[in-house]
Amino acid sequence: MNYRVDPGLYALGTPDADSPVLVSANFKMSFDRLREALPGRNAWILVLDTDGINVWCAAGKGTFGTEELAGMVEASGLARVVKHRRVIVPQLGAPGISAHEVQKLSGFKVVYGPVRAADLPAFMDSGMKAGPGMRTKTFTTGERLSLVPVEMIHAFKTLLMVLPPVLLLSGFCGHGGFFSNILSFGAFSALGLIMAIAAGCLLTPALLPWLPGRAFSIKGIWPGIAGVILFLTLRNTTGSLPAAGAFETAAWALIIPGVSAYLAMNFTGCSTFTSLSGVKKEMRWAVPAQIAAVALGAIFWITSIFV
Amino acid sequence: MSKPVYLKDVVTLQLDREACSGCAMCATVCPRGVFEIAHKKAQIADRDSCIECGACALNCPSGAVSVRAGVGCATAVINSMLGIKGDCCCSVDQYEVNEKNSPKGSACC
């Protein structure tokens, strides 16, 4: 599938030489959100080549940038299409665009529009004035949950690599035959890992503002602990296996919060309020702790099989 | 709901009030409401909310704002440490997964 739009100048409705010029990225969703936000309006849309990446990410990488914008103004012949000398750039494009440099290079003044395309009509109707809230990036529950599927898929890809050795080792747990062990002990082990992923990739984003701690690794521990309690309850009260021993209990008490904290930490990239300096500071202690927890948990889990 | 904030006292944001011309571009471009304009000069009103996106520094015509800009993404940090290219979630591969499975999923980073 192709999610790119060809870069260049597009007409929305029937724009003329006085119509506003809106700048966007050549990611289909960025372009479509912009078009959808302006029903019945006439405008020019100048699409920059950002390799099919959305405005904010591309601005962070510099592909939605000063030179690209000035170059596209030139290449599209915008100066011959409109009489005015003004382009409206999404505010989240500002990490890549230097407004005064664009004016120097192209002669066009950059006006920063609102963060959300949906606020554009109100912004333009009030004479390019941003109303309350139009300049800040939110991170609502809906916005956080929309990121869950892609995070889950990444985690499950890793799970598929981990699962074969886990199931194979489960066969040797000594309670019954090899295959019945895989279906009992092995299935519970798979459930433990799935619950760790659910804690880090689903519960953490869903409950993010209410989880104690500032570092995401800390936030991810709480759903992990809830996961441990739920898992051990299920493990010890359902199925035909004898209750988990000390090693197996300790293993899951380390693995589930450790994995959940790691996945939560990786949600920093999806969030809208983390800084690189902060992420690096968090990672300095969090990554060694996560590796230690999961490695020690794995050793305990293997020990529980053979002891 | 109050504005979510990350770690305290870590960001590299610096403002030289002497050099500031009071044009307010920093306050305009900041998506986190870090700056305020008082007595025709910018001031850092909410430093811990800064995400180091770099928009303020890039758009300051008098060079009064500086910040070590970057993306606060642990995956990107891990990938760069492991030497994996196509940094962070900004690879095209990611978007295809995203689109197939959640048509509403906004892109991360």
| A108 and A167 co-located in one domain | no
Q: Could you give the number of structural domains in chain B?
A: 2
Q: Among A34-38, B45-49, B71-75, which is the least confidently predicted range?
A: B71-75
Residues of chain A contacting residue B49, judged by C-beta atoms under 8 Å apart: 273
Q: Which of A70, A99, A125 finishes a domain?
A: A125
- A132 in a structural domain: no
What is the 8-class DSSP label of residue A176? S
Q: Does B36 touch chain A (CB under 8 A)?
A: no
| A117 and A175 co-located in one domain | no
Residues ≥6 apart with Cβ < 8 Å to B101 = A149, A150, A153
Q: Does B105 touch chain A (CB under 8 A)?
A: yes
Cβ atoms within 10 Å of A19's Cβ, excluding its own: 19
B31, B76, B99: residue with CB nearest A115? B31
Contact assignment for A1 to B100 by CB distance below 8 Å:
yes
**What's the pLDDT band for B85 if we cut at 50, 70, 90?**
low
Q: What is the mean pLDDT of residues A48-55?
A: 96
3-class secondary structure, A87: strand
* B79 burial type by CB count under 10 A (0-12 exposed, 13-18 middle, 19+ buried): middle
| A178 and A119 co-located in one domain | no
| B98 and B82 co-located in one domain | yes
Contact assignment for A98 to B58 by CB distance below 8 Å:
yes
Instruction: Decide if pLDDT at B98 tops 90.
Output: no
- B85 in a structural domain: yes
Q: How far is A49 from chain B (nearest CA, A)?
A: 14
- B7 in a structural domain: no
Q: How far is A92 from chain B (nearest CA, A)?
A: 7
| A147 and A274 co-located in one domain | yes
Average pLDDT, whole number, for chain A?
A: 96
Range of A225's domain? 141-306
Q: Give the phi and the psi of residue A54 in degrees, each rounded to 5.
A: -65, 165
What pLDDT was estimated at residue B81? Answer: 85
How far apart are alpha carbons A102 and A115 in whole angstroms? 20
| A116 and A27 co-located in one domain | yes
Q: Which of A100, A125, A150 finishes a domain?
A: A125
Beta bridge partner(s), residue A105: none
Q: Are B57 and B65 in contact (CB under 8 A)?
A: yes
Residues of chain B contacting residue A137, judged by C-beta atoms under 8 Å apart: 31-32
| B38 and B56 co-located in one domain | yes
| A290 and A159 co-located in one domain | yes
| A50 and A189 co-located in one domain | no
Q: Which of residues 239-258 of A touch B (CB under 8 A)?
A: none
Between A and B, how many CB-CB pairs are < 8 A?
183
The domain that contains B55 carries what CATH number?
Answer: 3.30.70.20
What pLDDT was estimated at residue A117? Answer: 96
Residues of chain B contacting residue A287, judged by C-beta atoms under 8 Å apart: 78
Q: Does B38 touch chain A (CB under 8 A)?
A: no
- B56 in a structural domain: yes
Query: A226-268: per-residue pLDDT in tens?
Result: 999 999 999 999 988 899 999 999 999 999 999 999 999 999 9
**What's the pLDDT band for B3 if we cut at 50, 70, 90?**
confident
Instruction: Decide if pLDDT at A24 tops 50.
Output: yes
Q: Are A48 and A23 in contact (CB under 8 A)?
A: yes
| B80 and B107 co-located in one domain | yes
| B38 and B80 co-located in one domain | no
The domain that contains A57 carries what CATH number?
Answer: 3.40.50.11600
Q: Does A206 touch chain B (CB under 8 A)?
A: no
Q: How far is A50 from chain B (nearest CA, A)?
A: 11
ipTM of the complex model: 0.90
| A302 and A164 co-located in one domain | yes
| A94 and A166 co-located in one domain | no
**What's the pLDDT band for B95 if we cut at 50, 70, 90?**
very low
| B19 and B61 co-located in one domain | yes
| A101 and A164 co-located in one domain | no
- B60 in a structural domain: yes
- B31 in a structural domain: yes
| B52 and B77 co-located in one domain | no
Residue among B1, B48, B4, B42 at smallest CA distance from B20: B42
How far apart are alpha carbons A254 and A7 in whole angstroms? 50
The predicted model scores a pTM of 0.89
Q: Does A155 touch chain B (CB under 8 A)?
A: no
Residues ≥6 apart with Cβ < 8 Å to A82 = A17, A18, A19, A21, A44
Residue type, A17: A
- A31 in a structural domain: yes
- A133 in a structural domain: no
| A55 and A199 co-located in one domain | no
Range of B76's domain? 72-109
Q: Could you give the number of structural domains in chain A?
A: 2
| A111 and A252 co-located in one domain | no
- B3 in a structural domain: no
Q: Give the phi and the psi of residue A7 in degrees, each rounded to 5.
A: -65, 150
| B30 and B60 co-located in one domain | yes
Residues of chain A contacting residue B28, judged by C-beta atoms under 8 Å apart: 91, 112, 130, 135
B55, B68, B97: residue with CB nearest A95? B55
